Structure 1
């Protein structure tokens, strides 16, 4: 059980590390760590909620096996994070199962996620015309001190389909990106590159992304009709009732333990919402991680109490300690979650909102202005496309780390800011855009296209539609 509790505490530590300095903001690390607990928090509380040590350990092992059963990525993450916390979990887990393609609800074989290797690309090319592919979306962002990239292509099929099907999408993910070059003339045509030391993708006449490694996956409901799909279908077992995912282990929790689990689960969902790039700067990652730090150890201590009454009292104390560790805004958020999600408005009092005064224009306060420098954290571009029958305009989106307001670089931490625009006229991205703090320049005139430039053109975005938010 101590391993399971340590994994929860390590998850919160990892997310706090990923958000500690927004100049190195690691959105994927936060999403990955929080996502683990979407369907594993209630089993953890169930495992902890017994004073019988033997029963607790048996339950915990069941939960660990359940967690690790969600694929090799999940198991690798658990092994890595447990090792950092000082535990070797491999002896506690059954042997890893070989990953095989699954089948969808129609019984059709589904596309696996593949490493970007020569063998895998050679199997892809006969079925999809990448030379005619177009870029629907691309994104490059920081992962701590490294860069990652995601390129989504619309790829023409070389095989016949028997029904009106949405376009086939090819998603390519690159890790440890070392070379970037893209602008809006590079959206047609793609070549996948594979090598022992470097992989990548070339786009259009001059676009390129190079990286240490990568993966790809097709999003194509007709893949089972392709040459490779038919070959895979012949060796994949038929779908049966056993193919449905098993239910998570556990049983109903007592009321106060349930309230604590519901609160922490909602906190994980809030943290996971960084996956929506447009709202990543609104998620209070650092403050939530500070409030719930040590949650695994606290849950284990509360659940180990002898007798239901003592356990429930201990879980109440845990909830109240979380509320007291937060600032007034977080405490109000906790009270709202307990009332709306857990049906327990009785546990803590809701603090009154602080009275806010509107500053006078002549009170001597400095006027907010565009900062003189910024660090590029994420840059993304999306082409005009139709999504589930809805027309979506082209768009550009940036995550910028900005210095403290008024360029006070000696005290407050840097801030994350999301800036976006529709129908960009220019979108140029080069490797040097991510080199660190650079001069941020507003370009264009009010009567023409306006935009931003960073690192002397390494990032250059202009639009006549205006930005979604001012950069202040």
Structure 2
């Protein structure tokens, strides 16, 4: 494998810069890639596409590359979800949520692409769909490249995202996502009264085996003058995400005042008099609809206006067009609803009710199967293939997932499908238990979330303490552990320390213990 980012002895020139695709050597690599495809097994079924543009031939590709990449993305997403949810002791809730969320807006474009009438049409729609998927931002494209590998660089163009403030549809500046540095911390301190901030929500969770992260939501008063009525209708929220958390000390009785300290490789967020979040990779996002009136906002507004019109225009690409009807529409609905079901792990209170591993087992190989069904020559052949896919997917479901499919499809325009759904063939999963089932025994804390009471809403909201615990699935020590969510409640006091997430503790009568003072929840 060639390392294209390797530099020469000066460190200033990489192999990519010297002889990469963007240099005059680019056409040579294109020809070599085409020859490799032509003389590889199965090349006869993959014709070459060359596009004539002004000045010569555009970079060539193999027909089928984009449509196959679409299927690879779906199958890789399912594999990622299955691996991240295999055992509750290594459960990565955020990775599962992100992979499932992609297919909320991209399942129908995939089916529209495969239902195109010609090979060229499928390829064209697939390339449009991949661009549509990537345009959410650089982080989405990076996620796609992680699943597609080096081939994805040819299929998905780079996505640029402006750093710093953004502009809304009226041209007013909005604070963008900021990586917390000494400069950005100073800007926040000039616009907002951080010593008077109040913690609204704190979530600390473990990703994978030992990757500790934190998410903090603050209510912060403005340091700049605004109309009282406008300020009352647009409260400021500051969100702080700590990607690599090393220490947490939190007490819900001590949440007034925030201080941001930065040092090389380390950021410290002081909460109250003794609370702290300490780690690295800290990002801050401010939700302030009046920020353009602040000193920093006025400066950013002037710079934006000097740069020209800032109202964002329509996106260059659109999702693939085309009608979906009959079995292909039903298959798309079933797959999309399955992903929406998995996406519910984004709500920590629902984690114990979701079976992402069971959904992945039911839809194993769905991407490849969808591409194959869409490649059949006749419309009736494609319809029959999609009907068989629906039967296979739902027939492989466990009893619990099958019941949820019926619930999700009930009340839709597709409710007539219910009468012909096959019976579930999969066995009940030991990792799925009734929500109300009580548990006492060993447990590992995977997530702790505290939400402060909010009396400023039309309907006052009580406080809440939510725990996600990994607990054994049964008496067999070899079984994967399952997720368990004790009944959330309004706490009188919530105290949390880093050691609560280390090793295995014990859950007894709804109270989790893992060392003195690690996690204390005082009930009202």
Match of 2:499 among 413, 432, 437: 432
After superposition, the Cα gap between the structure-2 partners of 1:69 and 1:370, relative to the gap in structure 1 and judged at 3 Å, is closer
Q: Equivalents in 1 of 2:289, 2:221: separation in Å? A: 13
Task: With the length of structure 2 as denominator, give the TM-score of the two structures.
Answer: 0.78
Q: Equivalents in 1 of 2:96, 2:172: separation in Å? A: 33
Q: Given that residues 332 and 351 in structure 1 are in contact (C-alpha distance below 8 angstroms), is that contact kept between their aligned partners in structure 2? A: no
Q: Equivalents in 2 of 1:122, 1:225: separation in Å? A: 17
1:58 matched residue in structure 2: 124
* SS of residue in 2 equivalent to 1:460: strand
Query: Is residue 2:164 matched to residue 1:98?
Result: no
Match of 1:285 among 356, 365, 368: 356
* SS of residue in 1 equivalent to 2:263: coil
1:322 matched residue in structure 2: 393
Pairwise CA RMSD = 2.5
Query: Is residue 2:37 matched to residue 1:37?
Result: no
Q: How many angstroms does 1:55 deviate by?
A: 2.4
1:67 matched residue in structure 2: 133
Q: How many angstroms does 1:337 deviate by?
A: 4.2
Query: Is residue 2:224 matched to residue 1:159?
Result: yes
1:359-384 CA-partner distances (Å, limit 9, x unpaired): xxxxxxxxx87423210011111111
Q: Given that residues 378 and 399 in structure 1 are in contact (C-alpha distance below 8 angstroms), is that contact kept between their aligned partners in structure 2? A: yes
- Aligned pairs for 1:112-261 (under 5 A) are 112-145=176-209, 146-162=211-227, 163=230, 164-236=232-304, 238=309, 240=311, 242-243=313-314, 247-261=318-332
Query: Is residue 2:152 matched to residue 1:89?
Result: yes
Q: How many angstroms does 1:142 deviate by?
A: 1.3
Q: Equivalents in 1 of 2:276, 2:340: separation in Å? A: 35
Deviates more, 1:254-263 or 1:340-349: 340-349
After superposition, the Cα gap between the structure-2 partners of 1:241 and 1:169, relative to the gap in structure 1 and judged at 3 Å, is closer
1:356 matched residue in structure 2: none
Q: Given that residues 165 and 222 in structure 1 are in contact (C-alpha distance below 8 angstroms), is that contact kept between their aligned partners in structure 2? A: no
Q: Which has the higher contact order (CA 8 A, sep 6+)?
A: 1
Deviates more, 1:260-269 or 1:244-253: 244-253
Q: How many angstroms does 1:441 deviate by?
A: 4.6
Match of 1:2 among 37, 62, 68: 68
* SS of residue in 2 equivalent to 1:391: coil
Asked which structure has the greater CA Rg, the reply is 2
Match of 1:391 among 447, 460, 465: 460
1:283-311 CA-partner distances (Å, limit 9, x unpaired): 12111111112111111001111121111
Structure 1 regions of 5+ residues with no counterpart?
A: 354-367, 443-449, 465-472
| Equivalenced residues, count | 439
2:519 matched residue in structure 1: 459
Q: Equivalents in 1 of 2:493, 2:158: separation in Å? A: 51
Q: How many angstroms does 1:411 deviate by?
A: 4.4
Q: How many angstroms does 1:269 deviate by?
A: 1.1
Q: How many angstroms does 1:349 deviate by?
A: 3.5
Q: Given that residues 185 and 205 in structure 1 are in contact (C-alpha distance below 8 angstroms), is that contact kept between their aligned partners in structure 2? A: no
Q: Given that residues 262 and 341 in structure 1 are in contact (C-alpha distance below 8 angstroms), is that contact kept between their aligned partners in structure 2? A: no
Q: How many angstroms does 1:412 deviate by?
A: 3.7
2:420 matched residue in structure 1: 348
2:472 matched residue in structure 1: 403
* SS of residue in 2 equivalent to 1:157: coil
Q: Equivalents in 1 of 2:366, 2:68: separation in Å? A: 12
* SS of residue in 2 equivalent to 1:210: strand
- Aligned pairs for 1:276-315 (under 5 A) are 276-315=347-386
Task: With the length of structure 1 as denominator, give the TM-score of the two structures.
Answer: 0.86
Q: How many angstroms does 1:351 deviate by?
A: 4.0
Q: Equivalents in 2 of 1:387, 1:312: separation in Å? A: 54
After superposition, the Cα gap between the structure-2 partners of 1:298 and 1:122, relative to the gap in structure 1 and judged at 3 Å, is same
